[in-house]
Structure 1
């Protein structure tokens, strides 16, 4: 992967236990050089939201020169999908969708449902996040941003693969 194993590397990952050893093996980065931001799925839905703020601060405070947006292949998103099917939240989602269409220009997703669930294709989520980070006005052009997919087969994680556009 041609990484400088002595520099700080940021991993934007899913909230999932057991990813660090796989990331270390895939990238050869030592644990002391790993900075991790965890989220429910590697999704950035606002250019100036909390996750993007954390990414920018990590770049400048930890001197991060490389970022990996990490997704898990074959991880079900059923819990989020089932949440959006609950009747009490359906009406609120529809109201918010109307608001988004009429006023919130900085909302990066088309609907609240898409914002909650993300795209079903992990590669699309990762590519979108990589693109957002690469093109953010506060991210220096010399910071390398890449995507990484970790395969999940029967609850066991295996080698990661780099996503390229």
Structure 2
């Protein structure tokens, strides 16, 4: 299936969705009902499973997703999203949710970088980013243990100078097959 076909298929579905007013059950405002933010992985197995397993409905929480559900920088977009959620949307609790069998576990960034080069990313492009303050290879690293990764991310949020101390932050791991949630910290 080529990319244009996927886009066309999505646009056709969207046109019918709007025409049939299928959006009505999802209408809510932007303030999360549960005063909750969730940082989790972008894994496609979690798209519907995670909210269903947590009993989260549209409008209940701010859900922030990235590769591995990790915070890799104290000034990156993930922490920015959490800071904005806390102060603009009155978030009181943050859940960090990793998952078993994550694609970021034991990631070897060398093949990833080679694939980038094969797809046209030049040496100069890498050099543009690599500096004393930034290392592309390190930025693309994963983790060896999901529980340790979750605990490290929780610590990054709890200890961040722009996160209020009255925000409760907890870490969990979800099974991407069953939805079972287990506390980490």
| TM-score (ref. length: structure 2) | 0.65
Give, in angstroms, the shift of residue 48 of structure 1.
Answer: 1.1
Query: Structure 2, unaligned stretches of length 5 or more?
Result: 1-32
Which of these two proteins has the greater Rg computed from alpha carbons? 2
For 1:159, the equivalent position in structure 2 comes to 180
Deviation at 1:10, TM superposition (A): 0.5
1:83 counterpart = 2:112? yes
Q: Does the 8 Å contact 2:94/2:170 carry over to 1?
A: yes
Q: Within 1, Cα distance between the matches of 2:146 and 2:126? A: 25
Q: CA RMSD in A?
A: 3.0
Partner of 1:3: none
Alignment of 1:117-156 (within 5 A): 117-152=141-176, 156=177
Flag the structure with more relative contact order, 1 or 2, with Cα contacts below 8 A and sequence separation at least 6. Answer: 1
CA drift at 1:87: 7.8
- Does the alignment pair 1:9 with 2:9? no
Runs of 4+ in structure 1 off by over 6 angstroms are: 89-94
**Number of residue-to-residue matches in the alignment:** 144
Name the structure 1 match of 2:3. none
Name the SS for the 2:175 alignment partner: strand
The alpha-carbon deviation at position 118 of structure 1 amounts to 1.8
Matched, 1:71 2:102: no
Structure 1 gaps, min length 5: 1-5
